[in-house]
């Protein structure tokens, strides 16, 4: 069994990556915010498996924190989860994790992506969430290319295209709803 895993480690990693990508694509088809966040946590867990198979432990740590963050954020309607200290706690956890798992200078990319994702997912305004998600995708895109994550690279490519399509498609609607430079959304 160990020999099989060792011989097929990269293929197994990419399979996990494509499963995570499928979850990522499908999660936005649900209406309930909480359902999306729970699926986002599942997606992050599968990305943990993907990166573990590739032997990349900084993204494993960042995605594991994302699992917990997604679950915590899914309880946002609860009083304890509304405090602005919640995202700060996750950023501190990410900082500690990157220190412990530091592999190379490229380890900074998943850390920066996690900071932006923590802040982006905390937002209530969809457009701001999308803008803050761009650096998340760019950091992961570069990291995935450098570390041979085919599924991760494709995932970030699709995410960036999707974000840009959304921003262009809704640009006219947003400008019509702006009053005095303040967006009503």
| Residue with token string 């960042």 | 62
Lowest average pLDDT, out of 4-13, 59-68, 106-115, goes to 4-13
- Is 110 in contact with 137 (CB distance < 8 Å)? no
Of 54, 66, 58, 64, whose CA–CA distance to 14 is shortest? Answer: 54
Q: Mean per-residue pLDDT for 71-93?
A: 91
| Highest mean pLDDT, choosing among 27-36, 70-79, 176-185 | 70-79
Residues 122-178 pLDDT 10s: 988 878 888 999 999 999 999 999 999 999 999 999 999 988 988 888 887 665 455
* pLDDT value of residue 30: 81
Is 51's pLDDT higher than 70?
Answer: yes
| DSSP-derived secondary structure for 101-160 | H--SGGGHHHHHHHHHHHHHHH-S-HHHHHHHHHHHHHHHHHHHHHTT-HHHHHHHHHHH
Count of C-beta atoms within a 10 Å radius of residue 31:
7
Q: Which residue has the higher pLDDT, 56 or 28?
A: 56
* Helix extents (H) in 8-125: 9-27, 33-53, 57-73, 85-101, 108-122
Of the pLDDT bands very low, low, confident and very high (cuts 50, 70, 90), residue 8 is confident
Is 16's pLDDT higher than 90?
Answer: yes
Calculate the alpha carbon distances from 151 to 32, 47, 176 in Å.
27, 10, 38
| Residue with token string 């700060």 | 88
Helix (H, G, I), strand (E, B) or coil at 75: coil
């Amino acid at each position: 069994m160990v020999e099989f895993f060792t011989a097929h480690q990269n293929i197994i990693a990419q399979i996990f990556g494509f499963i995570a990508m499928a979850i990522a694509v499908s999660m936005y088809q649900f209406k309930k915010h909480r359902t999306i966040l729970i699926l986002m946590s599942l997606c992050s867990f599968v990305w943990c498996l993907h990166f573990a198979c590739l032997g990349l432990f900084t993204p494993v740590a960042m995605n594991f924190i994302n699992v917990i963050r997604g679950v915590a954020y899914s309880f946002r309607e609860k009083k304890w989860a509304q405090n602005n200290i919640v995202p700060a706690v996750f950023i501190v956890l990410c900082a500690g994790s990157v220190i412990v798992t530091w592999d190379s200078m490229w380890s900074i990319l998943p850390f920066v992506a996690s900071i932006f994702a923590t802040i982006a997912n905390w937002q209530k305004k969809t457009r701001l969430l999308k803008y803050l998600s761009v650096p998340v995708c760019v950091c992961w895109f570069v990291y995935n290319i450098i570390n041979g994550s085919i599924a991760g690279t494709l995932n970030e490519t699709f995410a960036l295209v999707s974000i840009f399509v959304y921003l262009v498609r809704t640009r006219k609607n947003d400008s019509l709803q702006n009053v005095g430079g303040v967006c009503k959304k």
